[in-house]
Amino acid sequence: MTPQQSTSRSNNLSKKSSNQKIVLTVVAVVIVITMIVLYMTCNGGKKNADVRSVRAVPVVATKAIIGNLPVILTSLGIVTPTDVVIVKTRVNGQLLRVSFTEGQMVQQGDLLAEIDPRPYEVQLMQAEGQRARNQAAYQHAKADLDRYKNLVDQGIVSKQQLDAQTAQTDQLAAALKSDDGSLESAKLNLTYCRITAPVSGRVGLRQVDPGNLVSTSDTNGIVVITPLMPIYVSFSVPAVSIGDIIKRDRDYKKIGIEAWNDNFTTKLAVGKLWAVDNQVDTTTGTVKFKALFDNQDASLFPNEFVNVRLYVDTLKKVVLIPSSAVQKSPQGDFVYVVKDDSTVEMRLINVMASQGEQTALTGGLGSGETVVTDGIEKLRPGAKISIPGASPQHDSGGAGRERQGQEQGKTKS
């Protein structure tokens, strides 16, 4: 090996050794940095966990109170008029004119339509003529009868002739009575040519136009009248609630009823219970009820669907809490009660009745105790809570009580 080759090999070994040292140094630095990051991460997570463990849960709470709770049954009802009258003609003929406007309010006796009266005027004249002829014949037969009676007394006319004249007079009297019936029938038909409203109410759309021939056999009639004042609302109530409505010691017709719109935002009318069906519908397990409303402002419209609120009873002097505070569990209904140390306790309750946003209790909670109404999903028994805007005694961790003690100490000194 020449001196030049030896020198080159020595330089290569030196460079290789330097590279290995650099690689080892880089690896060592990476390991140290990784360990530092892991240490900081673990300590930071532990600190954050500690912070979370003592952080109070913000909630909304309210106190239980003593009050009255109305017992209300709700149901879907349909508005039904007291009468639905299809106005039909009672005589056949041509419709001359219509005297109403579609959709208007009419009173009983108002003229609605007229039928051509001329055929019935002719019939009336014929009936009057027939009666006049029979009246004259009757008067003549009656005069003959009086004469026959005198002649029989004198022995000039036989008793048989008198009986025949009497029978003829009676026949003419009967014919005269039949003519009276025909005359009244003709007058009645002439009256039927003027069609009037049989009830007060609102007329619907016209079913036939003037100029058409109308008949007593027409099924649609001329127009339909539906009374609006008063008006009924029909609805159904579960059979299990019948005992609460119908009690021996009260008149169920005095129970108040309200009709509301579809989403219970507007009260439409106030009425009273009017009638109860006499049996339970076995297919639905409900009983049909009917309520009566004055409807002077026409707020209820026939065949309209409304929500019905039936005020059955009033629970007096019971413990009331918001319905949002009541929760369900396998053990039963419960609430979270706020304790003096700003923690919550899970307590079972006995619900008497729930109505909208209020719930009445029969046990498990006393008046004045505070229950959580919002933020319940974040709570567990014994959890710390904070109530924004509440008095200092509900501050988390007892800080409020510490401030109160300091202020009391300053006051004593």
Parent domain of 389: 60-71+317-395
For residues 150 and 204, membership in a common domain is answered with yes
Q: How far is CA 144 from CA 99, 155, 161, 167, in A?
A: 55, 16, 11, 12
For residues 184 and 276, membership in a common domain is answered with no
For residues 279 and 342, membership in a common domain is answered with no
φ and ψ at residue 94, rounded to 5 degrees = -90, 135
Please say whether the beta carbons of 185 and 120 come within 8 A.
no
Domain final position from 292, 314, 336: 314
DSSP strand pairing (327-329 vs 332-338): antiparallel
In this prediction, residue 334 carries a pLDDT of: 92
CATH number, residue 268: 2.40.30.170
**Tokens read off for 324:** 């949002």
- Indicate the SS3 state at residue 97: strand
Return all residues near 62 (Cβ < 8 A) that are at least 6 apart: 321, 322, 325, 370, 371, 373
**Cα–Cα distance for residue pair 4/141, rounded to 1 Å:** 180
Q: Which amino acid is at 71?
A: V
CATH number, residue 336: 2.40.420.20
Residue 411 CA neighbour count, 13 Å, CB half: 6
The pTM (predicted TM-score) of the whole model is 0.63
In a domain, 131, yes or no: yes
In a domain, 26, yes or no: no
In a domain, 9, yes or no: no
In this prediction, residue 110 carries a pLDDT of: 95
State the burial class of residue 67 (Cβ atoms within 10 Å of its Cβ: 0-12, 13-18, 19+). Answer: middle
**Cα–Cα distance for residue pair 195/187, rounded to 1 Å:** 14
Q: Low-confidence residues of the chain, pLDDT below 70?
A: 1-21, 23, 27, 37, 39-54, 248-250, 389-413
- Indicate the SS3 state at residue 252: helix
CATH number, residue 144: 1.10.287.470
In a domain, 409, yes or no: no
In this prediction, residue 290 carries a pLDDT of: 93
**Cα–Cα distance for residue pair 293/370, rounded to 1 Å:** 43
For residues 366 and 321, membership in a common domain is answered with yes
